[in-house]
């Protein structure tokens, strides 16, 4: 069976990587993957359910496809986390959905579509491990690539659905990852991001994540990034690898979530604030100039005004280079959903706004510290806001916009920084 298929991706970079893998699998079976959803024979939504809002967006998108599906011919599929979480419920609420493919059933996706085309709806939220050998994939951006190194998570933080929808941790063999990165480098890719829900828990063939970074550093790739690190598993060996492997960029995403030990304990994070702070001190000493970004949450059940002040205090003390700031929302089935007392939504919104204000100031201050310095930039293309300028990311993962020749696109260029906003460095080019 063949035709055209479009894939719409919601959520995190792991979902983006899964969508690439799905596209690769389907292309291998003769499907043409298209961005033109209106003309596609099959529309797949690769979904996220980490926050309630993410699920609502998917339900709205599904209902918007109902009329087209009713005309006949179109196969609508739901894949990924929400498919795993909701299963049959999706077909009950949206009977025009013909394929539900959970996170561990991706390898069976072409077959599920074939069966749905024969009539009826097919739901597969069954088990399946990582496929043997590298997944076929279709890369959208030649310069940068996402490389999943592991799947799943066994941490069960109280607010998080990931362990329920993605299953336990499972690591890909280091040789397979190295071969995939080598092939990418040969193909002109300059930067890979190694992905996992908790890459610090990576372990395969006796190789920990620090060892994997050293192996990938020898593949010919110019830059290596990785996401996400859990502070409780961040070893000194990993800090040494970040410092010693020249291809590893000076950026670490290290979710803190809250500044209050009482809240961190209720979240089951397994890392008190003092230990987190000591880690940050060690990392900054070992890797001068490293950027540290984080995740923080406002309004976890039982968070008092005093607890929240501790989160603001942590932000002031640690001065993160960037922070992803979230409002807590209940996810049914998680431990936190059953916890009380709930913080009123208006209070959560106010706390969230205070975090945004504070991070905006700190982000600007951190970026201003770079003025006068030189940044190595992987030039991705023209700036979306001002096509006369170029856009890229520095090694510390900062957005950099600078004036330069279009011939620099695809290269590692140097820019001298002359101005800064909270989220962007503005530079002039310099001879590399």
Nearest distance from C-beta of residue 153 to ligand SF4, angstroms:
3
Q: In this complex, which beta carbon is closest to ligand SF4, that of residue 113 or of residue 254?
A: 254
Q: Quick one: which segment of 109-117, 151-159, 273-281, 384-392 binds ligand SF4 (CB under 6 A)?
A: 151-159
Q: Which residues does 285 contact at the CB level (< 8 Å), separation at least 6?
A: none
Q: Does 153 bind ligand SF4 (CB under 6 A)?
A: yes
Q: β-pairing, 399-403 with 424-430?
A: parallel
* Strand, helix or coil for residue 42: strand
Nearest distance from C-beta of residue 375 to ligand SF4, angstroms:
30
To the nearest 10 degrees (0 to 180), the angle between helices 273-286 and 305-318 is: 10
Among 4, 138, 155, 360, binds ligand SF4 (CB under 6 A): 155
Inter-residue contact 222 to 393 (CB < 8 Å): no
Q: Does 197 bind ligand SF4 (CB under 6 A)?
A: yes
Number of residues that bind ligand SF4 (CB under 6 A): 10
Q: Does 103 bind ligand SF4 (CB under 6 A)?
A: no
* Strand, helix or coil for residue 76: strand
* CA–CA distance, 342 with 349 (Å, rounded to integer): 13
Q: β-pairing, 144-148 with 150-151?
A: unpaired
Among 104, 190, 230, 251, binds ligand SF4 (CB under 6 A): 230
Beta bridge partners of 148: 195
Before 227, cis peptide (omega within 30)? no
Q: Which residues does 38 contact at the CB level (< 8 Å), separation at least 6?
A: none
Nearest distance from C-beta of residue 354 to ligand SF4, angstroms:
23
Q: Does 98 bind ligand SF4 (CB under 6 A)?
A: no
Q: In this complex, which beta carbon is closest to ligand SF4, that of residue 122 or of residue 161?
A: 161
Nearest distance from C-beta of residue 183 to ligand SF4, angstroms:
28
Among 79, 162, 239, 296, binds ligand SF4 (CB under 6 A): 162
Nearest distance from C-beta of residue 174 to ligand SF4, angstroms:
22
* CA–CA distance, 30 with 243 (Å, rounded to integer): 44
Q: In this complex, which beta carbon is closest to ligand SF4, that of residue 163 or of residue 173?
A: 163
Q: Does 204 bind ligand SF4 (CB under 6 A)?
A: no
* Strand, helix or coil for residue 303: coil
Q: In the complex, which residues of this chain contact ligand SF4 (CB under 6 A)?
A: 153, 155-157, 160, 162-163, 197-198, 230
């Amino acid at each position: 069976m063949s035709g055209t298929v479009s894939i719409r991706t919601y959520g995190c970079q792991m979902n983006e990587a899964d969508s690439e893998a799905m596209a690769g699998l389907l292309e291998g079976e003769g499907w043409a993957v298209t961005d033109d959803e209106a003309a596609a024979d099959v529309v797949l939504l690769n979904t996220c359910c980490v926050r309630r809002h993410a699920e609502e967006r998917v339900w709205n998108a599904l209902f918007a496809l109902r009329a087209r599906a009713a005309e006949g011919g179109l196969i609508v599929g739901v894949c990924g986390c929400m498919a795993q979480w909701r299963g049959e419920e999706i077909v009950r609420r949206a009977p025009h959905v013909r394929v539900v493919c959970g996170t561990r059933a991706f390898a069976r996706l072409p077959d599920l579509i074939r069966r749905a085309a024969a009539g009826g709806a097919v739901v597969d939220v069954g088990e399946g491990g990582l496929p043997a050998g590298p997944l076929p994939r279709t890369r959208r951006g030649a310069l940068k690539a996402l490389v999943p190194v592991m799947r799943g998570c066994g941490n069960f933080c109280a607010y998080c659905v990931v362990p329920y929808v993605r299953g336990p941790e499972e690591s890909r063999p280091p040789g397979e990852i190295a071969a995939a990165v080598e092939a990418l480098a040969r193909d002109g890719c300059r930067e890979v991001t190694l992905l996992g829900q908790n890459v610090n828990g990576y372990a395969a063939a006796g190789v920990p994540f620090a060892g994997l970074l050293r192996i990938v550093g020898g593949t010919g790739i110019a830059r290596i990034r990785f996401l996400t690190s859990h502070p409780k598993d961040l070893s000194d060996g990993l800090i040494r690898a970040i410092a010693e492997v020249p291809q590893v960029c000076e950026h670490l995403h290290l979710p803190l979530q809250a500044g209050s030990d009482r809240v961190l304990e209720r979240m089951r994070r397994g890392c008190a604030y003092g230990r987190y702070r000591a880690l940050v001190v060690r990392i900054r000493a070992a890797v001068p100039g490293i950027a540290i970004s984080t995740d923080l949450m406002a309004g976890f059940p039982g968070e008092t005004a005093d607890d929240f002040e501790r989160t603001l205090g942590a932000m002031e003390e640690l001065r993160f280079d960037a922070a992803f700031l979230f409002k807590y929302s209940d996810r049914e089935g998680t431990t936190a959903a059953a916890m009380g007392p709930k913080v009123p939504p208006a209070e959560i919104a106010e706390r969230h706004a205070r975090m945004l204000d504070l991070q905006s100031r700190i982000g600007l201050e951190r970026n201003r510290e770079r003025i006068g310095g030189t940044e190595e930039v992987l030039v991705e293309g023209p700036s979306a806001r001002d096509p006369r300028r170029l856009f890229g990311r520095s090694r510390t993962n900062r957005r950099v916009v600078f004036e330069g020749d279009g011939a620099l696109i695809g290269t590692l260029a140097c820019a001298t920084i002359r101005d800064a906003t909270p989220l962007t460095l503005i530079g002039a080019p310099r001879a590399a």
